[in-house]
Amino acid sequence: MPRLTPSSSKAPSQRQLRIAELIRHAVAETLTRGEIIDDVLTRHVITVPEVRMSPDLKVATVYVMPLGGQDGEAVIKALAANAKFLRGLVARRVVTKFVPNFRFQLDTTFDYADKVDGILRKAEVSRDLEQKLPNSEPDEE
């Protein structure tokens, strides 16, 4: 599900979503095949959970996560250093009028999910969740 940021109150268009998914598959396939020769990238298995396109489709923000979450900053730097080469490889796989420029960011959705899970596991929160509302129907067993 695409994320809405405070700076973008408008949901992405169908075209943005479609192009983003094509770019995501092409980048993931390129990284899986090891077509980029870089010591950092060859040492890591990298997942690409999401790509977000700018409204004009000229910039693609690629969210990546190295397996295990280790060396995230090094992976981002390596991808940024190879962004132009990666753009050329993606251009061969995705047929669009323009191939976007890439920006890379670490995917933090798993960290956020762990934070929410930790909050829900707190004793006072789980106690509140177990209490029933006063007007609710009794459960049939």
Average pLDDT of the residues of the chain: 84
Whether 136 has a pLDDT exceeding 60, the answer reads no
Note whether residue 139 is domain-resident. Answer: no
Note whether residue 119 is domain-resident. Answer: no
Note whether residue 120 is domain-resident. Answer: no
pLDDT, position 70: 81
Note whether residue 89 is domain-resident. Answer: yes
pLDDT, position 141: 47
Note whether residue 135 is domain-resident. Answer: no
| Residue range(s) defining the domain that contains residue 84 | 14-107
Whether 27 has a pLDDT exceeding 80, the answer reads yes
Note whether residue 97 is domain-resident. Answer: yes
Q: Tokens 């109150």 identify what position?
A: 9
Note whether residue 19 is domain-resident. Answer: yes
Distance in angstroms (rounded) separating the CA atoms of residues 60 and 125: 39
137 exposed, middle or buried (CB, 10 Å; 0-12, 13-18, 19+)?
Answer: exposed
CATH code, domain carrying 68: 3.30.300.20
Q: Tokens 């995230």 identify what position?
A: 72
pLDDT, position 9: 62
pLDDT, position 121: 78
Starting at the edge strand found earlier in the chain, the sheet holding 59-66 runs 46-53, 59-66, 101-106
Please tell me the total count of domains within the chain.
Answer: 1
Percentage with pLDDT > 90 across the chain? 52
**Residue 45: count of CB within 10 angstroms of its CB:** 11
Tens of pLDDT along 93-135?
Answer: 998 888 999 999 998 877 777 788 787 777 777 777 676 545 5
